[in-house]
Amino acid sequence: MFWIVVLAVTFATLYWLLVQPYKYWIKMGVKQGNPVFLFGHLWGIPLRKQSNAEMIEMVYNISSTARYCGIYQFLTPALILKDPDLIKQVTIKDFDHFVDHGTIIPEECDPLFAKNLFFLTGKKWRKMRSTLSPAFTSNKMKYMFYLISQSGQQFVEHFLKQKKELITLEMKDTFTRFTNDVIANVAFGIECDSLGQPQNQFFLMGQETTDFKGFYKNTILFAYLLIPRVCKLLKLSFFSKKVGIFFNKLISKNIQSREEHGIIRPDMINLLLEARKHGSITQRDRNTIPGIGFAIAQEFDTGKNLKAQKMEITNEDITSQALIFFFGGFDSVSSLLCFMSYELAIHPDVQNKLRQEIDETLKSCNGTLTYEVLMDMKYMDMVISETLRKWPTAAAVDRVCTKPYTIKPERPDEEPIHFKEKDIIIIPIYGLHRDPKHFPDPDRFDPERFNEKNKTNIKPYTYLPFGSGPRNCIGSKFALLETKTLCFYILANFAIVPVEKTQIPLQLAKTFVMLAKNGFWLGLKRRCGDFLQDGLLLDLGAATLKLKIAWGRYGDPGRERGGGTRRVLDGFDFSR
């Protein structure tokens, strides 16, 4: 009899702990689909049956008419918001109730990861976002354009020197090397050539930092989602110790070099050093020059209610924020470039139209590429906007309830949904972008959706490639500028074509991040017999490229105060 009681209690406990949680949304009157024991709706990703994007599309379609639906991240319930008006209400009008993202790894376990802007919460996030925002205005983008353009020219020159008519490449690796060099230049103040020196330490460390495909990092992520208390007790770290040591040392030496030699650069490190020096939140400057494009996230003043406060910014804080560029640029921008290249390769009509715009732009500006000229390219912006519509680099974003909130019923079949602190909502970007109600024939790649006439018909909050509300992606301008710059240089010199290894149609890898199942294999085919301009010389026979970059009245952002000597530290050039 005793053992029967023990077994009954054990089964009852297991039911309460592992089965009862999956009735949460049913009790709330919310449609929830079919969760799988222990995994909830995330079963397909660890079992390599679904990509994260495919999972988001699946749960988005749980109900075709409901404004929202419920899912389970393992045992944790989360509400998927489908209605654009409700998304606006929660992420903007009632933002104070949903300020934070979910914190996966506690600060005491991995401070380099947890102190990143994306994972900061409450006042810490508001202060840091307000401090960093001036580094991402359109005015600052114009300064950074020179540094990005340098890397773009370096990229093209590398392949022109090979003197091959057709170069077959795995584009993810190739574009990641470009984004690595841009990040090194703009965020860390050093120069790299990851195509010419493929094993440089900065690239290898950046690659390890953003590798979400490995067994260890996926295990850590799942463990923190499933048994967070155990992981916290064991202090499991997301980054390896050598990554943290490398970047902390790199930033510390960079800062020391700047302070000793009076080096000033228009980059994020300089902004945070100024904030630390003056002990207050830096006010953002006004945007007085053209914006980046249609996909750009709307700006919000997150620090408007914050008075000037003492900013305790350590070197570790600066390192953690510099890693924003890795998470937002190293992987996301390279993925955007990959998907865009794929679509251009299989849609030669679109590519030809974009190349024609590039050629006309070069002629109209006498071969002098400027920030303003690049931003004025309307078809370029349409192509990138449609790429982000079809292949958003973030399939979804979450928000965590920070104070009690109620979603009021608007339909007869709805009941009030009461949120308490730490409850989760999810914005299903991939689902919204693939919903035929918002974008007819969603699998078709059609940049004309974003022409001057059609883009005005896109319903607000159905197109959210960089998120919604004050907690949107801070680096959206930087990502778009980086993408446009490299695309311009590539198509000015090459055609992007399918090769034997190109997978058509493209299938997504069964991972958290947006990747092609068998890689992005494409070819760069040299353009022959193109025009010559005074300011632009495309000498394909000699494999040379000379481009004039207009600096206007802004001067050289890499010039030092008090001298022009270049200073190199441990193989990295900190002076430019």
| Numbered residues of the known binding site for heme | 473
Burial of 27 (0-12, 13-18, 19+ CB in 10 A): exposed
- Cα–Cα dist 361/371, whole Å: 12
Looking only at the bridges linking them, the beta strands covering 424-427 and 544-549 are unpaired
Helix 241-261, helix 201-209: angle, nearest 10: 130
Nearest to 28 by CA among 409, 310, 403: 409
Tokens 């790894």 found at: 105
Nearest to 273 by CA among 286, 285, 260: 260
Binding residues: 473
- Residue 529 region, left (φ>0) first, then alpha (ψ -120 to 50), else beta? left
Task: Give CA separation, 143 vs 137, 228, 469, 557, in Å.
Answer: 10, 43, 26, 7
Task: Give CA separation, 27 vs 11, 35, 416, in Å.
Answer: 22, 15, 12
Q: What element of type H or E holds 170? A: strand 166-170
Tokens 């996909």 found at: 295
Sign of the alpha-carbon torsion through 366, 368, 370, 375: positive
Sign of the alpha-carbon torsion through 425, 431, 433, 436: negative
- Cα–Cα dist 210/177, whole Å: 13
- Cα–Cα dist 498/376, whole Å: 29
